[in-house]
Amino acid sequence: MTDLTHSQLCLIAEKFLKQNGFGVVFHDRYQARLETGEQPDAIGFRNNVSLLIECKTSRSDFLADKKKKFRVNQNLGMGDWRFYLCPPDVIRVEDLPAGWGLLYAHGNRVRKIHGFPTNIRLITEKPFKSNKQAECDFLYGALRRMVIRGHFDDIYIKL
C-alpha cells in the first residue's frame, strides 16, 4: 500500500463525516480567513454539534500541531468533538491531548480507534466548548461565496 497524502486523508475524513450523519461537511480545500488562524482539515456540522478532524501523515506534523494557538488555548478551536486521522501508529492513544479522539486510515477506510461517541453522546457529552464564533465565521464565508457566485438563491424552495 502506498502512503496516503495529506489531501487524500482530508477527502477520506470528509467522506467519513458524511457517512456518520454530518450533513454539511468541508475539507481542507475550503479556506476561510479566521481570526484564530485555524484551517480545519475536515469539519462536519449536524444539528447541535460540530466535529473536527485533523489529518496527520507524520509524527512530526502531529507534534508541531500542539504548538498552534488554538490547540494551546482549546477554547479558540473549532469542533465540539475533535479527532486526529492518520495512518496506523503515527499517533497512539496515549499521545492524544485530553478530550481528543483517534481514527486510523486503512486505505480509503476509517477505523475508530478511540473516543468516537454514540449518536446520543454526540449531543449530550461534548468534550469541548467549541469556538462557535469561529464556526459561524467559517460558515458565513462559505455562504458569502455562494452569494458572490450567484448560487445562494438555490437554497430556496422553487414555487
Which cell numbers hold the place of 104? 486510523
Q: Where are the beta strands (DSSP E) in the chain?
A: 24-27, 42-46, 49-55, 81-86, 101-106, 109-114
The per-residue pLDDT for range 136-158, each reduced to its tens digit, is: 999 998 999 989 999 888 888 88
The per-residue pLDDT for range 59-75, each reduced to its tens digit, is: 999 999 888 888 888 88
Instruction: Note down the domain range covering 82.
Output: 6-150
pLDDT value at position 2?
54
Q: Is 155 within the bounds of a domain?
A: no
Q: What share of the chain is helix, strand, coil (3-state, %, to 5)?
A: 35, 20, 40
Q: Is 105 within the bounds of a domain?
A: yes
Q: How far is CA 145 from CA 12, 31, 32, 140, 149, in A?
A: 24, 11, 10, 9, 6
Q: Is 62 within the bounds of a domain?
A: yes
| Residue that wins the pLDDT comparison between 1 and 72 | 72
Q: Is 157 within the bounds of a domain?
A: no
Q: How far is CA 93 from CA 6, 66, 83, in A?
A: 20, 15, 11
Q: Could you tell me the pLDDT band of residue 1, with boundaries at 50, 70 and 90? A: very low
- Give how many domains the chain has, as a whole number: 1
Q: Is 1 within the bounds of a domain?
A: no
Contact 39, 6 (CB under 8 A): no
pTM of the model: 0.91
Q: Is 121 within the bounds of a domain?
A: yes
Q: Is 159 within the bounds of a domain?
A: no
Q: Is 54 within the bounds of a domain?
A: yes
The per-residue pLDDT for range 116-136, each reduced to its tens digit, is: 999 899 999 999 999 999 999
> Between β-strands 101-106 and 42-46, what pairing exists: parallel, antiparallel or unpaired?
unpaired
